[in-house]
Chains A and B, each alone.
Chain A
Amino acid sequence: EVQLVESGGGLVKPGGSLRLSCAASGFTFSSYSMNWVRQAPGKGLEWVSSISSSSSYIYYADSVKGRFTISRDNAKNSLYLQMNSLRAEDTAVYYCARDYGGNSPLGYWGQGTLVTVSS
């Protein structure tokens, strides 16, 4: 069974940093692209970042480019999102999601972790 468990969320001040983690199990992690998606309170979904299976291809939404860094450790079956220079508008639930294949980049989802940026 595919399992994705996010952690690392919490309260941080504007301008601060936070590192999210996503622990994967139930599949061969190194074979799949991974993604981060966020959802601000009461708002819709926003794709944030993608990383290919070997980290060769990395993409970011314009809203986070230059501030967020996606990475993965295939030996540890883990996905990360380093978030710097955080702003109030980054407040959201952050989900990690696994590629399903066949142009389905977000086939499996974790339960999310809440990041709150506030002074």
Chain B
Amino acid sequence: QTVVTQEPSLTVSPGGTVTLTCASSTGAVTSGYYPNWFQQKPGQAPRALIYSTSNKHSWTPARFSGSLLGGKAALTLSGVQPEDEAEYYCLLYYGGAQPWVFGGGTKLTVL
């Protein structure tokens, strides 16, 4: 069974920079996994931020960026704002009969 692993929690100071990662139990994450990133605040539906590793949606703030880092997918927040406090999920593509798998999520605290 495929497992996608994220840091359970991270803390960052306002104005700081933080990188969240997303690893696959099958090995290194490449662009062929089409990494997607989502933000979810309490009581709200998730919101898409990044697709295909580094592409931003039209509504994605410029301070969010996606990349591949050390065999993992990565989401970097630069100049963190208090409103960035949320849960962040990655999604990877594996093809086949069950093509998409979410990571367990990272709870980001801005403190």
Q: Which residues of A contact B (CB under 8 A)?
A: 35, 37, 44-47, 50, 59-62, 95, 100, 102-112
Measured between beta carbons, the chain A residues less than 8 angstroms from B98 are: 59-62
If A44-B105, A105-B36, A112-B45 touch, whether A100 touches B99 (CB-CB below 8 Å) is no
If A45-B38, A47-B91, A59-B97 touch, whether A104 touches B102 (CB-CB below 8 Å) is no
Contact partner of B102 (CB less than 8 A), chosen from A46, A100, A102, A111, is A46
Q: Which of B38, B40, B100, B102 has its CB near the most chain A CB atoms (within 10 A)? A: B100
Q: Could you list 5 examples of A-B contacts with CB < 8 Å?
A: A44-B89, A45-B102, A100-B51, A108-B48, A111-B45
Tell me the minimal C-beta distance from A11 to chain B in angstroms: 20
Please tell me the number of chain B residues within 8 Å of chain A, measured between CB atoms. Answer: 26
Measured between beta carbons, the chain A residues less than 8 angstroms from B99 are: 50, 59
If A104-B51, A107-B57, A111-B45 touch, whether A47 touches B101 (CB-CB below 8 Å) is yes
Cβ of B55 within 8 Å of any chain A Cβ, yes or no, is: yes
If A44-B104, A44-B105, A60-B98 touch, whether A103 touches B34 (CB-CB below 8 Å) is yes
Complexed CA–CA distance, A46 and B38 (Å): 13
Closest to B101 in A: A47
The answer on a CB contact under 8 Å between B51 and A45 is: no
Known: A103-B34, A106-B36, A106-B91. 13 other contacts (CB 8 A): A35-B100, A44-B102, A44-B103, A45-B40, A45-B105, A47-B102, A59-B99, A61-B98, A95-B45, A95-B46, A100-B57, A102-B55, A107-B57
Measured between beta carbons, the chain A residues less than 8 angstroms from B55 are: 102, 104
The answer on a CB contact under 8 Å between B51 and A107 is: yes
Measured between beta carbons, the chain A residues less than 8 angstroms from B64 are: none
If A59-B97, A59-B99 touch, whether A106 touches B38 (CB-CB below 8 Å) is yes
The answer on a CB contact under 8 Å between A104 and B52 is: yes
Complexed CA–CA distance, A103 and B105 (Å): 20
Tell me the minimal C-beta distance from A99 to chain B in angstroms: 10
Measured between beta carbons, the chain B residues less than 8 angstroms from A107 are: 48, 51, 57
B29-54 Cβ-contact flags toward A at 8 Å (1 or 0)? 00000101010100001111001100
